[in-house]
Structure 1
């Protein structure tokens, strides 16, 4: 009773209220000690797909260094930022954290290079989309429970996972333009793809932007892909490095990077808080339904920070993501994924059981999706080892 009273006092009326959840596809009794969104978060943390993120990379392939971000450390950092913003704005922080922790589950090994290769291989069979793959994992591929496949998460968490970057049916897009996994699931459990997600999912999306921009600056500097001097003219970032250097002259580079980056993160978080409060004051929503019906996000950067974010992303794209060293690594990664798909699709008897039995019994499109599921679930290390086992004649 005390716990329920605390929740009612802590959450704003326009938050996604756990006691008003739309529930789960498969009905379950409520837990006496945890809210529905807490249970969602906990199920994600205990999932096999979440553990695999430890050895799935963001930008660098796993063997290039132990200190660079992986999908797991990135997801934890996104969740930390999301918790802070949700708690401050009186949104449901358990839901914000659940969406943040789930948002990268569908990524392939080798980051975006792996996804590009798997999408190219799957082009004749509907393509590959990491967001749709996240939904497949959450609703179908995780096999942990006796009564259902997937994690049987609440409608709100699944909505956030699918729509955290905004409505899927916009700009003339129709259901035919969406990945089949999303369309098929929504036939049984409509996630209302034409509208915005609740505020907690919007927080998770911006937390993702804040985390990866700043942590890619950190990783890029430590990898020697660019220097601090190259950041001088970047809005906000350059200002923070200059401020820290003046405040702490003679600071080692490692400490300088951390002090500057944490200030950039804080400035971006404070900007989100200020702009979102401004929009909440302007709109005066009385429920989460009114936020979903706005037709635009309630959680946002200010116009000035949006411009800063655009410049930072352009810098990272040019100086980091397209760096010749990473291009070489990504080229190898794409070849590994294409090789694996080509062989396993043509020779499903090379798959381990029970993947082999399912693939051999399936028609070509279903077999292709099974092979894509198998490859997408790999860690970087497992994909490289599997490639060696299948293509090295001396293995």
Structure 2
């Protein structure tokens, strides 16, 4: 790293108080593909900027978190969620004397590979890909998970104006290992992991190699627990009064303050107080028990609400029809040749052609290649674009 000497001294001074288990900016292992140095930005600062200016990040503002195509513009989007995780991660890192810049970069990139239509979209893609793999007895393609897809976006996605993001090894690892859905009271990094060997197989199989990556994994949960409840209230699926009193008294005791902000504050304070001067992160027994209860409440009252369950079925239909359509193009050599060589009035096909040309896939031959290509294309769609493609291709009114 060749920083301007004065700027490097400033960074070193700012990070001099970091504990030995924190990741210093000057100690980054770099990138898979080296790039020219910037004298006034550390590698992790550059990662933040590379993500913020990328097309996959811009599309997150049109991907919903839980509620699909919401009419209320205040309902959380995937971009807003990423910004929340970044903010929470930075707050925790600053209070624990960890590298907030690294954590922010991981947080901003952690959902770049998420599907349209939120959690229901991911469930649909998992089912669709599993169906195709079983049909072809294909064992080469790993089950779809958005953490692995986010790493694919970082390493592979390009277009006419943008090369792949090519983020640092530390950020790549934090992104692919950010899954925090299992109830985790205690989380310690895999400090001795070989960062340069981390690939998509690490998703849901490994812990982050840095404590900053662990912070993001915890912050992801902190971010959505209260916000999903708040959004469900705004969508009139539940009422604030539905939150059990024991949860309210533990996580958000002040009746005059916003419930979500109190939950975030309570969880941050508890995590910080139980993790100070430790090379791991930990919640107290009492707060962790409340978190598990809140997750169970959200699952029963929000995620499994009849209205959302009904939408899940429609989301699956939309993505399955799109998947079938574009995979058929790759499977049928005549159709493929026709759309690649003739002017296109079919907008979805025109976008698909541009996508294939931009991505520069090395091969379209194997079944695994084709399923992965269509997965990449559909996962990159926003909610609105997926709906528009469905309506355009099948000439039906939106079913959402």
Same fold by TM-score greater than 0.5:
yes
Q: Shorter-chain TM-score category?
A: 0.7 to 0.9
Measured in 1, the distance between the counterparts of 2:34 and 2:252 equals 52
| Counterparts of 2:200 and 2:125, CA distance in 1 | 27
Residue 43 of structure 1 aligns with which residue?
Answer: 50
For residue 243 of structure 1, give the secondary structure of its aligned residue in structure 2: coil
Aligned match of 2:254: 243
Identify the structure with the greater helix proportion: 1
Q: Report matched runs for 1:140-219 at 5 Å.
A: 140-143=156-159, 149-165=163-179, 186=197, 196-219=208-231
Q: CA separation of 1:5/1:201 partners in 2, compared to 1, >3 Å: closer, same or farther?
A: closer
Aligned to 2:68: 61
Deviation readout 1:327-370 (Å, 9 max, x if unpaired)? 12222111100110011111244633134677894322211111
1:336 to 1:299, Cα distance in 2 relative to 1, 3 A: same
Partner of 2:186: none
1:3 to 1:379, Cα distance in 2 relative to 1, 3 A: same
CA contact (8 A) 2:252 2:266 kept: no
Give the match's secondary structure for 1:67: coil
Structure-2 change in CA distance of 1:368 and 1:5 (3 Å): closer
| Map of 2:240 onto structure 1 | 228
Equivalent position of 1:283 in the other structure: none
| Higher mean C-alpha displacement, 211-220 vs 56-65 | 56-65
For the pair 1:111 / 2:111, whether they are aligned, the reply is no
Moved more, 346-355 or 50-59: 346-355
Long gaps (5+) in structure 2? 1-5, 181-195, 331-335, 340-348
Q: Structure 2 CA distance, aligned partners of 1:161 and 1:316?
A: 25
Query: 2:318 aligns to what?
Result: 336
SS at match of 1:277: coil
Query: Which runs of structure 2 are paired with 1:362-381 in the superposition (5 Å)?
Result: 362-381=365-384
The count of corresponding residues between Structure 1 and Structure 2 is 346
Distance 1:268 1:341, change over 3 A: same
- In structure 1, what is the Cα distance between the partners aligned to 2:78 and 2:396? 32
Q: Does 1:139 align with 2:151?
A: no
User: Could you tell me whether the CA contact under 8 Å between 2:51 and 2:109 is conserved in 1?
Assistant: yes
Residue aligning to 1:169: none
Task: Give, in whole Å, the separation in 2 of the partners of 1:382 and 1:321.
Answer: 24
Closer, same or farther: CA 190–309 of 1 in aligned 2, 3 Å: closer
8 Å CA contact 2:176–2:200 kept in 1: the answer is: no
Deviations 1:119-163 (A, max 9, x none): 2221205231111100000011134788xx521111111111112
Contact 2:151 2:200 in 1 (8 A): no
Structure 2 counterpart of 1:265 = 264
CA contact (8 A) 1:57 1:380 kept: yes
Structure 1 window deviating more from structure 2 (4-13 vs 126-135): it is: 4-13
Rounded Cα–Cα distance in structure 2 between residues aligned with 1:223 and 1:241:
21
Taking the aligned partners of 1:312 and 1:226, their CA distance within structure 2 comes to 14
Give the deviation of 1:240 after TM superposition: 5.9
**5+ residue gaps, structure 1:** 167-184, 246-255, 281-290, 292-297
Residue 390 of structure 1 and its aligned partner are, at CA, apart by 0.6
Separation (CA, whole Å) in 2 of partners of 1:55 and 1:345 = 24
Q: 1:394 to 1:312 in 2, by over 3 A?
A: closer
Deviation at 1:243, TM superposition (A): 2.6
Shift of 1:189: 11
Change in CA separation of 1:187 and 1:261 when aligned onto 2, cut-off 3 Å: closer
Q: Which consecutive segments of 4 or more residues in structure 1 shift more than 6 A?
A: 187-193, 357-360
Deviation at 1:241, TM superposition (A): 5.4
Distance 1:188 1:361, change over 3 A: closer
The alignment's C-alpha RMSD in Å is: 2.8
C-alpha distance in 2, partners of 1:194/1:260?
A: 33
| Residues in 1 aligned to 2:200 and 2:63: alpha-carbon distance in whole angstroms | 30
Kept in 1: contact 2:89–2:100 (CA 8 A): yes
1:390 partner SS: helix
Q: Is the 8 A contact 1:25 1:189 kept in 2?
A: no
Does the aligned pair in 2 maintain the 1:58–1:69 contact within 8 Å? yes
The TM-score normalised by the length of structure 2 is 0.79
TM-score of the superposed pair, with normalisation by structure 1: 0.80
- The change in CA–CA distance for 1:91 and 1:394 in structure 2 (over 3 A counts) is closer
Q: Evaluate the alpha carbon distance shift between residue 393 and residue 115 of structure 1 in structure 2; reply closer, same or farther with a 3 A threshold.
A: closer
